[in-house]
Amino acid sequence: MQPYPARSPEFSAILPGLEESAEIARQLVRTTLNAWEIERLTDSGVLLVTELVANAVQHTNSRYIKVAVSRSNPRFVRIGVVDNARMLPEMTKPGADLLTSGRGLLLVDALCERWGTDMYRLGKRVWGDLLVSPPHEHGGGDGLRGDTAADPPRPPAQRHHARQPAVL
């Protein structure tokens, strides 16, 4: 077992809280995944960051948002958006009223292995983890090497959602 870096690699950008910031966020995700040689996650990563930015812009009055792409564990890529609202995101139940909006967190839940919210004194970070490799695959060609154990414990002021495995 090799330890993961004390400071996980992260690429981030502070962007205006505007819809137009989604394109810069998508480029950040594309560039980062390319640098880490895990381009196969690009479509999911771009869609994920688009939804997270849209939620931050539409549901908060944040003047600025922070978009970050990180690897605290070699099995996952975490994409997150920080805004200055302390309101927790709410997943809407599917229904007829979701034809034009309200599907963002449903899509986040479908794209990610897990997602959650970290609360801060002046806001929150909503994040999603994309699976790089299953637990039985180690190292070799997926960017960083390191511990494949679970992520370090998180502070209690967090909401965490783990997808349930599909039953076939």
**Contact criterion met (CB below 8 Å) for 13 and 117:** no
What is the Cα 101 distance to its own chain's centre?
Answer: 20
Helix H or strand E encompassing 153:
none
Indicate the SS3 state at residue 39. helix
Strand order in the sheet with 76-83: 10-16, 64-73, 76-83, 123-131, 114-120, 158-162
Q: How far apart are the first and last CA of the chain?
A: 33
Q: List for the chain the helix, strand, coil content (%; round to 5).
A: 30, 25, 45
Q: What is the pLDDT of residue 89?
A: 87
Split the chain (168 residues) into runs of 10 and give each run's mean pLDDT.
62 97 98 96 97 94 97 92 92 60 80 95 96 64 36 43 42
pTM value is 0.75
pLDDT score recorded for residue 136:
57
Identify the pLDDT of residue 91.
75
| Domains along the sequence of the chain with CATH | 10-162 (3.30.565.10)
- Element spanning 120, H or E: strand 114-120
Q: Residue 33 corresponds to which tokens in the numbers above?
A: 């995944």
DSSP assignments along 65-111, one per residue: EEEEEEEEETTEEEEEEEES--PPP-PPPPSGGGSSSS-HHHHHHHH
Q: What pLDDT score was predicted for residue 99?
A: 52
